[in-house]
């Protein structure tokens, strides 16, 4: 029996997240999108012949940092320095994540005077995440993880995947 990606997506959890109106979940969703935007557009901007290459490299690094912030499970399975893990753990609340994302967006918007490139999209995506976490902070909503991907503990998690998890 072949496995496909749809078996790992928790459609019920997505619907539940949308109905919750918890903006920290929306911020996390945009964070996942920002990981892809930062890495893809950072790589795309490495081919310019100007100082925008520096902002492309920064964008790739931002994508990797956001990856560890939004998926904290990776901190446990990847060999990382204690300083980096402590740095990532600082962003455990909505307010701190909002400030983090707005600082990252400001860095990318600083690339505009050098050259107007697709890094503006990265800055806009980071701003949307910052606004989502900011709304959650000001509405005093609890930080909540998204349930987009099924957990191996769920009853309907694919059996073959459980075996692979154990291996």
Output the pTM of the full model. 0.80
**Is 162 within the bounds of a domain?**
no
Contacts 24+ apart (CB under 8 A), 13-22: 13/146, 13/147, 13/148, 13/150, 14/147, 14/148, 16/147, 17/146, 17/147, 17/148, 20/144, 22/136, 22/141, 22/142, 22/144
**Is 132 within the bounds of a domain?**
yes
**Is 8 within the bounds of a domain?**
no
CA–CA distance, 131 with 85 (Å, rounded to integer): 25
pLDDT, one tens digit for every residue, the chain (167 residues)? 455 656 556 666 666 766 677 888 888 889 999 999 999 999 999 998 889 999 999 999 999 999 999 888 888 888 889 999 999 999 988 999 999 999 999 999 999 999 999 999 999 999 999 999 999 999 988 876 665 555 555 555 555 555 555 45
**Is 91 within the bounds of a domain?**
yes
Domain containing residue 42: 21-142
Q: How many domains does the chain have?
A: 1
């Amino acid at each position: 029996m072949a496995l496909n990606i749809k078996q790992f997506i928790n459609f019920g959890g997505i619907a539940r997240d949308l109905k919750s109106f918890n903006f920290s979940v929306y911020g996390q969703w945009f964070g996942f999108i920002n990981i892809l935007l930062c890495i893809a557009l950072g790589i795309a901007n490495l081919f310019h012949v100007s100082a925008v290459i520096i902002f492309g490299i920064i964008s790739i690094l931002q994508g990797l940092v956001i990856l560890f912030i939004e998926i904290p499970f990776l901190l446990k399975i990847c060999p990382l320095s204690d300083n980096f893990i402590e740095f990532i753990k600082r962003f455990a609340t909505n307010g701190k994540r909002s400030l983090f994302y707005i600082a990252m967006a400001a860095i990318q918007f600083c690339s505009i005077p050098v050259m107007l490139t697709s890094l503006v999209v990265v800055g806009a995506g980071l701003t949307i995440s910052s606004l989502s976490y900011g709304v959650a902070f000001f509405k005093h909503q609890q930080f909540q993880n998204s349930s987009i991907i099924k957990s191996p503990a769920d009853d309907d998690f694919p059996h073959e995947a459980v075996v692979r998890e154990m291996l």
